[in-house]
Chains A and B, each alone.
Chain A
Amino acid sequence: MNIDSITNGIVIDHIKAGKGMELYKFLGLDAYEGSVALIKNVPSKKMGKKDIIKIDSLLDIDLNALGYIDPNITINIIKNEVRTEKYHPELPERITNIIRCKNPRCITSTEQELPHIFKLTDKVGPVYRCLYCETKAQ
């Protein structure tokens, strides 16, 4: 795979330097069979240094969930060597099984099979709270 150009795929740009691996794992790319490039510490005018992920396919993944990890990243969708979309991920309204509720009084602490769901309660911050006990995510 040529890391400079891809025909059809996704380029996740402006990842905070050092956060690339976290996003890579979050998207489950360690299990992905196709070509993926994780490029670290790329010089950037805006950010000093940044990480970039290039995926050589239009994978069906929930890119907006990335907004929880880093809302400043840029997602580029490439089709036939042309960039057809460029956007920042929105903050997801709900995130499931990405973070865990740490409140020992929460029902999720005793019922292991329950999904850990957090909902966006304030876009400033942003603030996510446990669906069940409303404890703020750290």
Chain B
Amino acid sequence: MRSVIDILDLSVSEIERLISVANDIIADPKKYSECCRGKKLATLFFEPSTRTRLSFEAAMYELGGNVIGFSESQSSSASKGESVSDTVKVVSYYADIIAMRHPKEGAPLVASLKAGIPVINAGDGGHNHPTQTLADLLTIKREKGTFDGLTVGLCGDLKFGRTVHSLINALSRYNNIKFVCISPDELRLPDYVRHASPQGNNMSFYETKDLEEVIGGLDILYMTRVQRERFFNEADYIRLKDSYILTPEKLKTAKNDLCIMHPLPRVNEISVAIDDDSRACYFKQVMYGKYMRMSLILMLLGITVS
């Protein structure tokens, strides 16, 4: 049974196919509006994530399917004593596909080993979140037309930011990608991420603490949140946080076709003054995320629409 737990579970050609189906859905949504008639998606959210859950549910409804599931306020299923394995074995009798969110790393993998139906990882703690990366990839493809040769700025928390790690993994399979890592020392990209990602042709990394120094050369600027709790002391946080907030002033030297991305939710790391700038792509990312989830559901259910 095919599941998607890590973005690297999908080959480059499968990602191409997912993007092409997503583009086709965007072009002609009506064609897809009945193709999951009679199918059920189970959203098993062992921790709440309204944004991701709504995206999956909207995706399934737009394919004509139905949704069942739960969302725990705390990981209370553990207190009920039922294991992930047992839960998914039971759910396999009710649904055709599972989207699972869990606070523990590796829980969706456990689910995929036991379920009789495909499992999509909808986020496991700070570990993987492959459908966020699929949203990012469709955004880049639609905005830039290609993955090859891009200069991709990654800004903010590069140490704990799983979306950044997973995007690096996914993009490192293409050619001539330049990653520009912009972060305070405390939140630098860990070496293991750089080394663990499959080495594409001519991939390079440049590190800096200064966003303004590099912004003019970027094709993509991927912003992430710098969280207060990542710092040892409040003084460091206050000193650093403003350097990683994107404002119209910092955009002055940026390219006209820069694509500004953010996995959302944002707190204050992108000034709302930028929302109306044509380079702001973070709300489009949300929309593309839904289309990629639709495309992925179709692929895992083996449904093709001609």
A residues whose Cβ falls under 8 Å from a Cβ of B: 103, 105-111, 113-114, 121, 130-136
Q: Is the CB of A106 within 8 A of B110?
A: no
Q: Lowest 5 CB-CB distances: which A-B pairs, in order?
A: A132-B106, A133-B105, A107-B104, A107-B106, A107-B107
Q: Give 1 or 0 for each of B59-88: 1 = CB within 8 Å of chain A CB.
A: 000000000000000000010000111000
Q: Is the CB of B106 within 8 A of A133?
A: yes
Contact of A106 among B83, B106, B196 (CB under 8 A): B106
Q: Is the CB of B83 within 8 A of A133?
A: no
Q: Is the CB of B83 within 8 A of A111?
A: yes
Cα distance A79–B245 when bound, in Å? 72
Q: Give 1 or 0 for each of B114-145: 1 = CB within 8 Å of chain A CB.
A: 00000000001111000000000000000000
Asked if B279 CB lies within 8 Å of chain A CBs, one says: no
Given contacts A110-B78, A110-B104, whether A132 and B110 have CB atoms under 8 Å apart is yes
Which residues of B are found within 8 Å of A109, using beta-carbon distances?
A: 104
Which residues of B are found within 8 Å of A111, using beta-carbon distances?
A: 83-85, 110
Which residues of A are found within 8 Å of B104, using beta-carbon distances?
A: 105-107, 109-110
Which residues of B are found within 8 Å of A131, using beta-carbon distances?
A: 106, 109
Asked if B53 CB lies within 8 Å of chain A CBs, one says: no
Measured between C-beta atoms, what is the minimum distance from A48 to chain B in Å? 35
Which residues of B are found within 8 Å of A132, using beta-carbon distances?
A: 105-107, 109-110
Q: Is the CB of A108 within 8 A of B78?
A: no
Measured between C-beta atoms, what is the minimum distance from A105 to chain B in Å? 5
Closest to B110 in A: A107
Asked if B102 CB lies within 8 Å of chain A CBs, one says: yes
Question: What are 9 A-B pairs at a CB distance below 8 A?
Answer: A105-B127, A107-B102, A107-B107, A107-B109, A107-B124, A110-B78, A111-B84, A131-B109, A133-B127
Which residues of A are found within 8 Å of B83, using beta-carbon distances?
A: 111, 113
Which residues of B are found within 8 Å of A103, using beta-carbon distances?
A: 105
Closest to B78 in A: A110
Cα distance A107–B87 when bound, in Å? 14
Closest to B5 in A: A132
Closest to B108 in A: A107
Q: Which of A131, A133, A136 has the most CB of B within 10 A?
A: A133
Which residues of B185-228 have CB atoms within 8 Å of chain A's CB atoms? 192, 196
Closest to A135 in B: B105
Q: Which of A110, A131, A136 has the most CB of B within 10 A?
A: A110
